[in-house]
Structure 1
């Protein structure tokens, strides 16, 4: 009863932290990852900043947490380094293996990355996140760009990683529901409807 009636930290977030938390929930939704906000969740280390999390199996029980972690944006600076945003987690390998066996989950081989997704703009980033999840569910190996690099830098990264194709999404593509599909070997590219991309599996 005391915990239920106690003030909730989520009700006292600063504007910057509230924006960050809303973005996090948005990204989880785009990836179709189910989550539950636990106002009583506490991690045992004091260097965490903003979000902390735990990963639970569907069939919960005592000592059921598979992993947990959070952000620690100030830790590297406290250790003498430059200010560096960071996130990390620890996982219980034995518990993960036990849950895989309990649910009869087969362990598939990791597909080789076939596609690199490059984007320019915030709206394009949201589409890139959703597209990466869609292609992975279709069995296509995907690496998506992170950060705010220029398109030229992202294409260099795709070349370095040896991706066969790069999917490019910008503001115009978001508006028209299309993507640019670039062959990294020939440098030829074409614009196709976004919905057709997963069905182009044979071409990837």
Structure 2
């Protein structure tokens, strides 16, 4: 694998990362409660991408391409998880408003952010299909195919997580600059609503297919 092909692949990953998706809104939601939790969520998405890269390298994710039913089921599970995250985020913001305290800042841990980011990516079959569709175009047909596929997975993880870390830092700075609890609460509710809507949309489209 040449340096030129790696740079071309990294550029493609950057374009895809700049397209807002579930991971972006997930990191935004955690960052609004706690900046470090948003960064942890970004790290979790990176690990999820590496898991998909390993699955593709070993040929496991080929099942998604061959079985429409497996793909549909995994999309529904991922959609349900996004709905769950959105509902829980909305409930947390309601509790903070009614009690006047900041439960989200105490309950949103680094572990929960990391786990949410990892699970969100691992439950998104589009990540696996991305590797299945793109990796063969960049991986040479030689004995190092598994290693080269993992290298591409590392590139996806690094580019995607760096972008999400920037999102987390910007969100954290915005909240610190505004310092208005009402604004933070509404931003959390909007991001929670977007997560839930993405999940419901995924489930609806999967049920129709």
TM-score range, shorter chain: under 0.3
TM-score, normalised to structure 1, is 0.24
More strand by share: 1
Computing the radius of gyration over CA atoms, which structure comes out larger, 1 or 2? 1
More helix by share: 2
